[in-house]
Amino acid sequence: MTEPLRLSKRMSELGLCSRREADEWIARGWVRVDGKVVSELGTKILPTQKITIERQAAAEQSKRVTILINKPVGYVSGQAEDGYKPAVALVKPEARWKEDKTPTQFHPTQLRSLVPAGRLDIDSVGLLVLTQDGRIAKQLIGEDTSIEKEYLVRVQYTKPGRLPDADLQRLNHGLTLDGRKLLPAKVSWQNDDQLRFILREGKKRQIRRMCDIVGLKVLGLKRVRIGRVKLGDLPAGQWRYLREDESF
């Protein structure tokens, strides 16, 4: 026998929407199971049952925006904290990149439920994704995400000489943080003082902590790519919409 599970969880697993969106749609009567409307939150179903969503849900979802920001130093990714501004404060018409060719018009309602899909700490810069679309948030920060994030990291070796090759290998494969082995990474020298990191996970201050273990001090950290989406020429402090032909 297959165990029944919450309808909202199953909808999220199928990539239809986030759990929060699922609950919203269920409450509005926009979800059918085997052809019948289900409007009670917490309803459980079998994985074999067929879920369909009403056109209103699809139409509302298509209006949800995803915004790419080149975050400067001094902004936090999420909620405002300790007097620092959140990155969403940069999303205003005058800061929109003039090269943004998407036809989407800016409207203040786009700031509602606009959440960071992955974080950049206050001292780091580069590509930050803010989205209203639960599917994209799940894709980028869900437990089973395998989407690569690429960073350029300026470093200084705190010991005599140069970083040994064995320690570079440890950065690629063989470090443990918080008692858990890290997933393999791709770490290589770009020039004398800059490393390229490609990760498939995002623990808090992960790159800085990885560097610290092997005696490297991070002087600057910039995220330049998430999956297939690149930062490109987007200027610092400016933003653009994710294009329809782009996907992570």
pLDDT by residue (tens digit) across 63-114? 789 999 999 999 999 877 778 899 999 999 999 999 999 999 998 888 888 8
Active-site option among 121, 123, 178, 193: 121
Summarize pLDDT for 33-45 with one digit per residue, the tens: 999 999 999 999 9
CATH of the domain at 171: 3.30.2350.10
Residue 60 binned pLDDT confidence (cut-offs 50, 70, 90):
confident
The answer, yes or no, to whether residue 149 has pLDDT greater than 70, is yes
Same domain, 34 and 153: no
Q: Is 121 a catalytic residue?
A: yes
Q: What is the mean pLDDT of the chain?
A: 91
Number of domains in the chain: 3
Same domain, 75 and 103: yes
CB 41 within 8 A of CB 104: no
Same domain, 140 and 234: yes
Summarize pLDDT for 183-207 with one digit per residue, the tens: 999 999 999 999 999 999 888 899 9
Residue 145 binned pLDDT confidence (cut-offs 50, 70, 90):
confident
In a domain, 81, yes or no: yes
The answer, yes or no, to whether residue 10 has pLDDT greater than 70, is yes
- Of the two residues 220 and 16, the one the predictor is more confident about is 220
In a domain, 13, yes or no: yes
In a domain, 247, yes or no: no
Which two three-digit tokens encode residue 126? 């580069």
3-state DSSP of the chain: CCCCEEHHHHHHHCCCCCHHHHHHHHHCCCEEECCEECCCCCCEECCCCCEEECHHHHHHHHCCCEEEEEECCCEECCCCECCEEEHHHHCCHHHECCCCCCCCCCCHHHHCCCEECCCCCCCCEEEEEEECCHHHHHHHHCCCCCCCEEEEEEEEECCCCCCCHHHHHHHHCCCEECCEECCCCEEEEEECCEEEEEECCCCCCHHHHHHHHCCEEEEEEEEEEECCEECCCCCCCCEEECCCCCCC
Same domain, 94 and 216: no
Same domain, 220 and 161: yes
In a domain, 248, yes or no: no
Q: What is the mean pLDDT of residues 152-171?
A: 96
Residue where the block lists tokens 């770490």: 187
Share above pLDDT 90 across residues of the chain, in percent, rounded to a whole number? 71
Range of the domain at 99: 66-144+229-241
The answer, yes or no, to whether residue 1 has pLDDT greater than 60, is no
Q: pTM score, two decimals?
A: 0.80
Same domain, 156 and 217: yes
Q: What is the mean pLDDT of residues 20-46?
A: 92
Task: Provide the pLDDT for residue 113.
Answer: 82
- The whole-angstrom separation of Cα 133 and Cα 155 is 35
Same domain, 27 and 73: no
CATH of the domain at 237: 3.30.70.580
230 by Cβ neighbours in 10 Å (0-12 / 13-18 / 19+) ranks as middle
Summarize pLDDT for 120-133 with one digit per residue, the tens: 999 999 999 999 88
CATH of the domain at 19: 3.10.290.10
